[in-house]
Chains A and B, each alone.
Chain A
């Protein structure tokens, strides 16, 4: 019973590099989202999706792109990484009809 799976768990990038954080869920959840968690800031919503082909911005979307081609996958792309994007990233999913979010274990990203 995998739930929400995030890869990689750890990543170090240089400023200007690009990368994709992967998120997959096997619970047939329509809603998926990405949060970043920084000390003293709490979890902040980056982007979310209510179904395949539908995405929308959260509180802190700048510097990040997302797409949702399947129900299962919701990758987060950093096109040109900046030190300010050093953070722990969490993917979460839920059924549209309920509020309970299921989180992945997180991806710790360091941008030098």
Chain B
């Protein structure tokens, strides 16, 4: 069955550093990969979508890579800020977007 793995341990970094979160998947060939942010007690919020034929996507301080050979996506936040502290979820879907499959998320803590 499809499996999406994100580091369950929290990632602690200092303000100003680059945070890098990893999403690995198995038994799946997704057409799209998405990243969401979730704050405690809130619903997830969409951040970025990358297609299988795209290697990299950027949005302001965010950068996502998608390596379909390694079956891995990396999510980078440059010049991180305490306000970036949250749980980040990766999600995979096929071309029809019918069923979005989520990873368990990685908690990011940015200290001043």
B73 is an interface residue with CB less than 8 A from chain A: no
Chain A residue numbers with a CB within 8 Å of B103 are 42
> When A and B form their complex, which 10 residue pairs have the shortest distance between CB atoms, in order from nearest?
A103-B43, A43-B102, A42-B104, A100-B46, A99-B97, A42-B102, A103-B44, A99-B49, A105-B43, A90-B43
B32 is an interface residue with CB less than 8 A from chain A: yes
Interface residues of A (CB under 8 A from B): 4, 31, 33, 35, 40-45, 48, 50, 56, 58-59, 90, 92, 94, 96, 98-106
Contacts across chains A and B counted by CB atoms under 8 Å: 59
Known: A99-B32, A103-B44, A106-B42. A41 touches B99 (CB 8 A): no
Min Cβ gap A6→B in Å is 8
Q: Are B46 and A58 in contact (CB under 8 A)?
A: no
B21 is an interface residue with CB less than 8 A from chain A: no
- Taken together as a complex, chains A and B put the C-alpha atoms of A41 and B89 apart, in Å, by 12
Q: Are A43 and B99 in contact (CB under 8 A)?
A: no
- Taken together as a complex, chains A and B put the C-alpha atoms of A56 and B96 apart, in Å, by 14
Min Cβ gap A29→B in Å is 12
B112 is an interface residue with CB less than 8 A from chain A: no
Min Cβ gap B42→A in Å is 6
Chain A residue numbers with a CB within 8 Å of B53 are none
A-B contact pairs, 16 of them (CB 8 A): A33-B100, A40-B104, A42-B4, A42-B89, A42-B104, A43-B44, A43-B89, A43-B102, A44-B102, A45-B101, A58-B99, A101-B34, A101-B100, A103-B43, A103-B45, A106-B41
Min Cβ gap B32→A in Å is 6
Q: Which residue of B is nearest A91, CB measured?
A: B43
Chain A residue numbers with a CB within 8 Å of B44 are 43, 90, 101, 103
Q: Which residue of B is nearest A98, CB measured?
A: B97
- Taken together as a complex, chains A and B put the C-alpha atoms of A45 and B46 apart, in Å, by 17
1/0 per residue B77-110: CB within 8 Å of A? 0000000000001010100011111111100000
Chain A residue numbers with a CB within 8 Å of B100 are 33, 45, 99, 101
Known: A40-B104, A41-B104. A101 touches B99 (CB 8 A): no
